[in-house]
Amino acid sequence: MKNNILKITFITALILSFTSCSSNDDSDSPVVIDPPVVVDTDPLTTTNAATYLVDANATKETVALFYNLKKLAKTKTAIGQQDAFNSFYLDAGGDSDIKKNTGFDPAILGSDFMFITDKNNDGTASNWFYQQEQKIASDAKAAYAKGAINTFCWHLREPNKEESFYAADMTSEQKTTAFRSILPGGVNNEWYKKKLDKVASVVLNLKGTNGELIPIIFRPFHEFDGSWFWWGASFSTSDEYKKAYQFTVDYLKNTKGVHNILYAFSPDNSYTTQADYFSRYPGDNYVDILGMDNYGDFNNQGQTGADRANSKLKILSDYAKTKVKIAALTETGFRVTSSTPAITDWFSTLLYSSLTKNDIQISYVMFWNNNKDGYYVPNGSVSNTNDFKTFATKSKSALVNSLPKMYELPK
């Protein structure tokens, strides 16, 4: 025992001697680095997620979609396309062009309430507009079954003749009166409510195999900062726009009892500051998703345009981080036709950089639809096929196969 004590004392002294000698020469000292303490400052949790939604009575699947979209943006951006299951380049049917290219369906399917609410939709089986309604509903259910996300825009026809959504097709008087006429007290408010009744009916009949309501993203009155639509900035005041948006949300949520919608706010790309972006913002209580539609910055603008788009997306992303909202590039693309060639590395370099630079968090990006005359998303037989495939397989890109279970909160 005594010998053991002497050994321990000797070893201890040796260690102390080494420590005291080496303490004068930091270059020889062993450096011990404690693992960094990671503090999760994200206020969104599975237990409080419902409190951040516009709709306090949102279905559990809708709450889960919000939560998972918000968390997804920390690591990936979901890739989607308008009419992906029905609009194909060169009129080829079958799988989506994205699946033809990559082997996987898009993470998001874009649809439109336009034909559904058309004045000619009489609800009969032989009616073309009703057939479109059935097809759109079927596609939305199919996307949900695949684990993908549904988003709806609305190219609503103007309330006078209901023939166009473009301001250029209206008289000067119609352009100055149409939008305010749908507000409460306006001559066309009842007309507008009937259109919303139709939207509500369709959304409340989107159900999964277990009878659960399918969540959708709805972005009414998009690209309002331009003047090509009759709800554009030239034809309404900021206050009128806010009231129309608020009325739309309140009517669907409170009057019609629709609780499976996330609401998206999406101007075009005209803004350059946060003040510009929020000039017609209806308020945090009415918006779940902060979006931007942007084609112009990607139209042969090179890296300069991509960086410009990134700076605009950063405005959304920063606000979304602070206010627990979702940020998204709600429409974009570069249309390739027989006379407009593809831009080299448009997807894999230009677009990808705009979605990922400067620590931004963008939950999803949506491309417009393909048709026989041109495409936004290449299929497996055109020049920029590999560029899109590279983009879709990058670490921060997600097709449907890379999504978590979007309609379930993590355990």
The residue among 202, 200, 65, 79 whose CA lies nearest residue 139 is 202
pLDDT at 37 over 80: no
pLDDT at 31 over 70: no
271 HSE (CA, 13 A, CB side): 26
Q: Which tokens hold the place of 389?
A: 């495939």
Alpha-carbon Rg of the chain, whole angstroms? 26
Confidence grade of residue 18 (pLDDT, cut at 50, 70, 90): very low
Per-residue pLDDT reduced to its tens digit, 113-168: 999 999 999 999 999 999 999 999 999 999 999 999 999 999 999 999 999 999 99
- Please identify which of the residues 190, 240, 331, 408 carries the catalytic annotation: 331
The model carries a pTM of 0.90
Contact 378, 337 (CB under 8 A): no
The CA distance from 31 to 40, in Å, is: 27
In a domain, 126, yes or no: yes
Per-residue pLDDT reduced to its tens digit, 331-357: 999 999 999 999 999 999 999 999 999
**CATH at residue 374:** 3.20.20.80
pLDDT at 6 over 90: no
- Please identify which of the residues 61, 173, 223, 240 carries the catalytic annotation: 223
In a domain, 87, yes or no: yes
pLDDT at 5 over 50: no
Confidence grade of residue 265 (pLDDT, cut at 50, 70, 90): very high
In a domain, 9, yes or no: no
Angle, helices 238-250 vs 172-181, to 10°: value is: 50
Reported as type and span, the H/E element at residue 249 is helix 238-250
Contact 222, 270 (CB under 8 A): no
Q: Mean pLDDT over residues 382-391, rounded?
A: 97
The CA distance from 120 to 128, in Å, is: 9
In a domain, 384, yes or no: yes
Reported as type and span, the H/E element at residue 149 is strand 149-153
Q: What pLDDT score does 40 carry? A: 55
Contact 204, 261 (CB under 8 A): no
Burial (CB count within 10 angstroms: exposed 0-12, middle 13-18, buried 19+), residue 17: exposed
User: What's the number of domains the chain is made of?
Assistant: 1
pLDDT at 285 over 70: yes
Buried b / exposed e across 133-169, counting CB within 10 Å, b at 16+?
A: beebbebbbebbebebbbbbbbebbbbbeeeebebee
Give catalytic status of residue 331 as yes or no.
yes
In the chain, % helix, strand, coil (3-state, to 5) comes to 45, 15, 45
Neighbours of 200 (CB within 10 A): 19
Q: Mean pLDDT over residues 31-54, rounded?
A: 76
In a domain, 20, yes or no: no
Q: What pLDDT score does 222 carry? A: 98
Q: What pLDDT score does 92 carry? A: 87
Per-residue pLDDT reduced to its tens digit, 51-95: 999 999 999 999 999 999 999 999 999 999 999 999 999 998 999
Q: Which tokens hold the place of 404?
A: 């978590």
In a domain, 14, yes or no: no
In a domain, 214, yes or no: yes
Q: Which tokens hold the place of 291?
A: 């979006």
pLDDT at 389 over 80: yes
State the average pLDDT for the chain: 92
Place of tokens 């009415």: 286
pLDDT at 310 over 60: yes
Confidence grade of residue 212 (pLDDT, cut at 50, 70, 90): very high
Q: What pLDDT score does 41 carry? A: 77
pLDDT at 240 over 60: yes
Taking CA atoms, 101 is separated from 80, 98, 380, in Å, by 14, 5, 4
Higher per-residue confidence, 17 vs 43: 43
Q: Which tokens hold the place of 239?
A: 């206050």
Query: Which range of residues forms the domain containing residue 292?
Result: 52-402
pLDDT at 35 over 60: no
Q: Which tokens hold the place of 371?
A: 């048709």
